[in-house]
């Protein structure tokens, strides 16, 4: 267990350090970097923009699906059924909206909403069917995982959204299109009305790190831990780079998001290992 803890703590420390280094570099070269790599509506980055935030919402959606299996009350079961379906529809619709903004696809709402609703209901029924065949131990572990993920979502909302409001930093593409806006360093809260600092998409993409809990909860994934670490880090780095390429954020914006999400990840790891060492159980019961 000591070696596993060390590897997990080192991973979160690496993410934090990577974020700090990016912030320091961005403090001096934010504008130059954005000018160098900016590409309007770059296709690959636009595709990433439309899906990179999905991981932050999936645990919360899973949580409500699990709650439908834990209650026998019709009223609660109806609520716990509707919430994840609506949440899934909204998540997919927002992703589609990003593609429409980039003029990559145009689907009328009267077609997209019914289609996404049908897809979300199908996903809900499929996941529900899988859960019915799952053991009680597996359901308990999935509940724990979904709660951990939901806490991570709250962590992201607390830091990203509050700091966006306080900083009001204009995006690079906004500065290019509006002469009344000017570049400001990340630590200079000019409150010009922009939402560049910090990067919400990058912070949300960091939820992919939650897959690292799977080897801790399910032994069959233990050997895949290095793969999970590498692939999740790559996912976040590619997302962060895509945000700079599109002119939506500066290097310091994405780096700060990686920093505070890395800190949150460290706290989750710390809680998990302490929780495991005490041998206690985490379970929610809905009557």
Residue % of the chain over a pLDDT of 70: 96
**Confidence class of residue 285 from pLDDT cuts 50, 70 and 90?**
very low
Contact 252, 22 (CB under 8 A): yes
- Give the model confidence (pLDDT) of 101-127 as tens digits: 998 998 998 899 999 999 999 999 999
Tell me the pLDDT of the chain averaged across its residues.
93
- CB contact burial 137-155 (16+ within 10 A = b; e otherwise): eebbbbbbbbbbbbbbbeb
Query: 167: Cβ–Cβ under 8 A, 6 or more apart, which residues?
Result: 186, 189, 190, 191, 194, 196, 197, 198
Contact 253, 243 (CB under 8 A): yes
209 versus 161: the higher-pLDDT residue is 209
């Amino acid at each position: 267990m000591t070696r596993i803890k060390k590897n997990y703590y080192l991973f979160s420390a690496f993410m934090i350090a990577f974020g700090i280094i990016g912030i320091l570099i961005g403090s001096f070269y934010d504008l130059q970097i954005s000018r160098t790599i900016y590409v309007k509506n770059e296709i690959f980055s636009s595709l990433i923009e439309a899906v990179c935030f999905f991981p932050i919402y999936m645990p919360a959606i899973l949580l409500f699906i699990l709650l439908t299996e834990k209650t026998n009350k019709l009223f609660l079961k109806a609520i716990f059924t509707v919430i994840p379906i609506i949440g899934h529809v909204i998540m997919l619709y927002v992703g589609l909206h990003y593609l429409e903004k980039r003029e990559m696809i145009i689907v009328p709402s009267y077609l997209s909403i019914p289609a996404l609703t049908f897809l979300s209901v199908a996903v809900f029924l499929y996941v529900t069917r899988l859960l019915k065949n799952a053991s009680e131990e597996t359901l308990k572990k999935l509940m724990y995982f979904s709660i951990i993920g939901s806490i991570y979502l709250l962590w992201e909302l607390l830091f990203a959204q509050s700091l966006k409001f306080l900083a009001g930093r204009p995006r690079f593409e906004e500065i290019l299109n509006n002469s009344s806006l000017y570049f400001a360093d990340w630590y200079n809260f000019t409150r010009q009305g922009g939402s560049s600092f910090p990067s919400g998409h990058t912070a949300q993409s960091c939820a992919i790190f939650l897959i690292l809990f799977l080897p801790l909860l399910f032994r069959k994934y233990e050997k895949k831990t290095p793969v999970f670490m590498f692939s999740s880090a790559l996912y976040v780095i590619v997302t962060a780079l895509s945000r700079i390429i599109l002119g939506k954020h500066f290097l310091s914006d994405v780096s700060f998001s990686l920093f505070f999400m890395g800190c949150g990840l460290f706290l989750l790891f710390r809680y998990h290992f302490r929780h495991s060492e005490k041998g206690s159980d985490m379970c929610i019961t809905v009557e």
